[in-house]
Amino acid sequence: MVHVEHAGGPLRCPQCGHHARQYDTRQRRWRHLDTCQYRTFLAAKVPRVQCPQHRVLQLAVPWSEGRARLTALCEAVVIDWLRHATITAVAQQMRLSWDEVDGVMQRAVQRGLQRREVQLPHRIGVDETSFQKRHEYVTVINDLDGHVVHVADGRSKEALEQFYQRFDREQLAAVETVAMDLWEPYIRVTSKYVPAAQHKIAFDKFHVAKHLADAVDQVRRAESRTLAGTGDERLKGSRYVWLTNPKNMDAERWERFAALRNSALQTARAWGYKEQAMTQWGYQTREWARTGWLAWYRSAIHCRLEPVKRMIKGHLEGIVTAVVQRVSNARAESINAGVQKLKYVARGFRNRERFRNAIYFHLGGLDLYPARVARDYLVHTNS
């Protein structure tokens, strides 16, 4: 135990800085970094002052922030550990309780969000990620050139709406691109808040490919039921063959797939249109991109492949925008993968608040360290 005493001298209100008289003292104790492998604590009688304006307040101490029970330097080391391990593992390593380590993460995220300038990125990505089973989601908004900027509960229009409502019309008008999947609530709320959204919403290649693959699978299932009634089982057990990217097939598998893809089956035609759509992403201008996609769309309509054509109807401009602006939601998908990794490593989260904190902590690009040690500590650890 290291005992620290106040050296005396004039006291000032921690809020306004004016001189104030001492009211009383409170005994406090803080966990510090280990000394020679022994747990070390700092203890001090901290004065409280009585300010005419702010009443009775406790003085701030130079080695800790607020009501934290750890020194700022100890919190900085915990933050470093949390970047690489779970709360449970860090608690064991630092010989702290689970709640103490969780408190460090919560305070780090809170101070990071307070320090971050509230601004709307010009290029944003919107994606949902699962929180738990039973179709529970959170909406994650990220800067296409950076990090997570907002996390909201659910994937309804209200989830995205609360983000847009933080900004005025001038800021919203400055948005250049909103990359997202083809989820209608996101489309509707973005169209409502972002001026000229019809030319800014972008449905990137990854999501278009995914929806087209789902459309092909719908055709396959319907046709498989029809063929099964006649004793034809060619499509039985072929689901993953149709969904696999040809680039990921070896020569032997591609050869086995030849009989199906070259047949007159509706599924084969739907698959052919899906593959043709993936060649439509090289256009340089909006006019040529729209012309190419319209030609593809007319062919899909002519062949009456309803699931395939429904996927494109109403979303053409967003696809064209993604083509000409070379927009990719890859950053959002990378963040989504990072979120899923956090869930796996933590073995799930019991509530959304801790889930949000983990996302902001690991993927928000925040300044997490206590202000009293941030500059000296970072210089020392990076040298």
Say whether 129 sits in a helix, a strand or coil. Answer: strand
Does 76 score more than 60 pLDDT? yes
Q: Tokens representing 377?
A: 């500590």
Share of the chain above pLDDT 90, in %: 41
pLDDT at 66: 83
Tell me the whole-structure pTM to 2 decimals: 0.80
Does 160 score more than 90 pLDDT? yes
Alpha carbon distances (Å) from 332 to 61, 324, 327, 370: 41, 19, 12, 29
1-51 per-position pLDDT tens digit: 899 888 777 888 888 888 888 888 889 999 999 998 899 999 999 989 998
Does 109 score more than 60 pLDDT? yes
Does 226 score more than 80 pLDDT? yes
302-322 per-position pLDDT tens digit: 776 677 677 777 788 899 999
Does 167 score more than 90 pLDDT? yes
- DSSP secondary structure string, 15-73? TT--B-EEEEEEEEEEEEEEETTEEEEEEEEEEEEEETTTEEEEPP-TTS-TT-SB-HH
The H or E element that residue 126 is part of is strand 123-132
Edge-to-edge strands, sheet with 177-180: 148-153, 136-143, 123-132, 177-180, 201-203
